Amino acid sequence: MSVTAAALAELIGAELVGDGSLPLDGVAKIEDAGERKVTFIANRNYLKYLPETGAGAVILASIPEGEEGRRSYLVTDDPYAGFVKVLRHFHPEPAKPEPGVHPSAVVAGDAVIAESASVGPLSVVESGAAIGERTVLLAHCYVGRDANIGADCFLHTRVTVRERCEIGSRVVIQDSAVIGSDGFGYAPGEEGYAKIPQVGNVVLEDDVEIGANTTIDRATLGCTIIRRGVKLDNLIQIAHNVDVGEDTVMAAQVGVAGSSTIGRRSMFGGQVGISGHIRLSDGVMIAAQSGVHKDFGPDRILGGYPAVEIREWRKNEAAIRQLPDLIKRVRKLEGGK
């Protein structure tokens, strides 16, 4: 399995500096790497590990002074992309499960399962559901009545796709995510809350990835929609009738309340909360744990609770740190001690 530094440089289109005949047999973190390992530096914070690393080769954007000649380098404008290619070289995609329906799965007679698809042990596929070419469902998955899953999807264990939900192609869903649970809607009445039927569905477009134990509620009417290329981390809540724009990324434990619209290419830190009926434009970035209670235009960088422009939030935070002292100064101005 070993490969030369020169071959790896060619694989990723990097300039080789140093010994190209060096044999490398795997990838490692810079702190742990030994002489037959290749590692990478994409983030300047990791440059501090370079003088001490035992790695035989390092993928990076430029060689710091004093480090020349100490090991082999693969110099490239995008070390991270190079690292991913090398990683995939040493760790090829694991073999997919064999096509076919596991004998322990429970599949309705009128479900349409592509011949090249794989339905894992103890999975359930209900009546009218369809599963596309080369799609894999691992163990314990559930596909509800009339749900539709496209081609080349990968559902890890215990994924729930409820009735009438629509999943595109090349969608990855991590373990125990729930797609299509009922929206949280009740009408207050004299005898407590009456449940509002949630008759819509969830649409996941192509190339979406959904994290473990994330929940996406179906729409009251119409669709909750997660658009092409969106990546959602674990334990996220997406409420009914939310619309998440293309290529948006959300870190773990974010919550988006009902009927809000999130733009394209947005990035939300962990534990962010978005109120209901909010409209955020494209390219909005939100610091972790912030709470957004109103609409914002494109490309804003937000922080705080309630969230404001992050510069304003930082200014306010810095001012708060001066506040105990300020109170003393005002007391002095007032003639107090």
From residue 284, how far is each of 1, 190, 247, 281, 332 by CA, in Å? 44, 42, 12, 7, 44
Amino acid identity of residue 60, one-letter, is: L
For the record, the structure tokens of 205 come out as 């477009």
Of 282, 242, 254, whose CA–CA distance to 266 is shortest?
A: 282
Are residues 218 and 238 in contact, defined by beta-carbon separation less than 8 angstroms? no
Amino acid identity of residue 149, one-letter, is: I
Are residues 121 and 104 in contact, defined by beta-carbon separation less than 8 angstroms? yes
CB of 172 to a copy of itself, least distance (A): 7
- Between 32 and 68, name the residue whose CB sits nearer to a copy of itself: 32
Q: CA–CA separation, 247 vs 257, rounded Å?
A: 20
Strand duo 273-274 + 255-256: pairing: parallel
Active site residue 277: no
Are residues 181 and 215 in contact, defined by beta-carbon separation less than 8 angstroms? yes
Count of CB atoms situated within 10 Å of the CB of 48: 10
Paired with 335 in beta bridges are: none
For the record, the structure tokens of 309 come out as 């422009």
CB of 32 to a copy of itself, least distance (A): 6
Amino acid identity of residue 62, one-letter, is: S
CB of 30 to a copy of itself, least distance (A): 10
CB of 53 to a copy of itself, least distance (A): 14
Order of strands across the sheet that contains 72-75: 15-17, 72-75, 57-60, 37-40, 26-27
Instruction: Name the residues annotated as catalytic.
Output: 240
